[in-house]
Amino acid sequence: MKLFSLLFTKLGVVFTLCVLWQSLAWVIASSDFPSLLTVLKSLHFHLTEGEMVSNLFITLKRALLSFIIAMVLGGLIGILMGMNSLANKLTDSLLIIMLNIPALVTILLCYIWIGLVETAAITAVVINKVPTVVVMIREGSRAVDQNLLAVAKIYKLSPSKTFFRVFLPQLYPFIIASARSGLSLIWKIVLVVELLGRSDGVGFALNTLFQFFDIAGILAYTIAFVIIILIIELLFFKPFDKIVARGKRFD
């Protein structure tokens, strides 16, 4: 019952926003502000006759690939920096530099140095994302409870058992937080990367639509991709939340 009413509220909000959009579009009546219906028509057109499906898939593939690489790499570096004070001292200033290099600069340099290829695109996205993952995982591994690690040492747990059953579960909340913020950041950067140097994907399509001032088309692509991200969120992150909540007090 509670779940049902929550769902009802959420749908109500979405519906109100749609109505608001549609009526605003009627009032303004400008070609720069297409109505919801126009956008949906455009969405239908791009889905059935355009290359939207393949573009969405290509972008999604790039986003997920760079997401996985960035999470693994950032996680490993973050744990190392959190556990080892020497490694932290050596790389701390580098981390701050990396955090503050504009995404655009990394993308441009990757295209120049590696060439206008897929590797360059993925590398650029990964370089943009890794520092933020590192920052969060580092904080997590600094906060790890030494008392529990002492238990692992006393009872002579193997290194892999200590890592996966004692150490890593304490990092789950930090990993989830950086994954959540990570996916949204990554797909935005992927679009810029595509816009600047790829001839397919959502970013490339948006650029083309922009040349024709096809605002309905731009909004249609946005809606399509947001829906995909929402589905990923539901399918992949919700189960993770359950793992993180394991053993927490059930009130």
Partner 1 sequence: MIELNVAIKDKYYENSETAVLSQLDFKVNSGEFLAIIGPSGCGKTTLLNMISGLESCVGQHISYSSNSSGNRFKKNDLASDCSKSEYLENEQANRIGYIFQQPRLMPWLTVRENIELVLDPTQFNKIEGLLAEVGLAQKGDYFPSQLSGGMQRRVSIARAFAINPQLLLLDEPFNSLDAPTAGRLRKLLLDLCREKKTTVVFVTHDLQEAIYLADRIIFLSDSPCTIIHESIINFPKPRTESGIAELEFQAKLTRQFPLLLAGKID
What residue ranges bind partner 1 (CB under 8 A)? 147-148, 150-151, 153-157, 161, 165-166, 169, 246-250
DSSP class of residue 235 equals I
Specify the residue, 238 or 242, whose C-beta has the smaller distance to partner 1: 242
Where are the alpha helices (H) located in 115-167, listed in sequence order?
Answer: 118-142, 146-154, 159-161
CB of 145 vs partner 1, minimal distance in Å: 9
CB of 150 vs partner 1, minimal distance in Å: 6
By C-alpha distance, which of 23, 44, 17, 58 is closest to 187?
Answer: 58
CB of 152 vs partner 1, minimal distance in Å: 8
6: its two tokens: 């929550």
Torsion from C-alpha of 244, 168, 188, 58, nearest 10 degrees? -100
Distance, in Å, from the CA atom of 43 to the CA atom of 223, rounded to the nearest integer, reads: 8
Q: Is residue 225 within 8 Å of 59, Cβ to Cβ?
A: yes
Specify the residue, 142 or 161, whose C-beta has the smaller distance to partner 1: 161
CB of 139 vs partner 1, minimal distance in Å: 19
210 φψ region: left (φ > 0), alpha (ψ -120 to 50), beta (else): alpha
Specify the residue, 65 or 244, whose C-beta has the smaller distance to partner 1: 244
3-state DSSP call for residue 75?
helix
Specify the residue, 147 or 199, whose C-beta has the smaller distance to partner 1: 147
Residue reference for tokens 């946005």: 222
Specify the residue, 3 or 154, whose C-beta has the smaller distance to partner 1: 154
CB of 181 vs partner 1, minimal distance in Å: 23
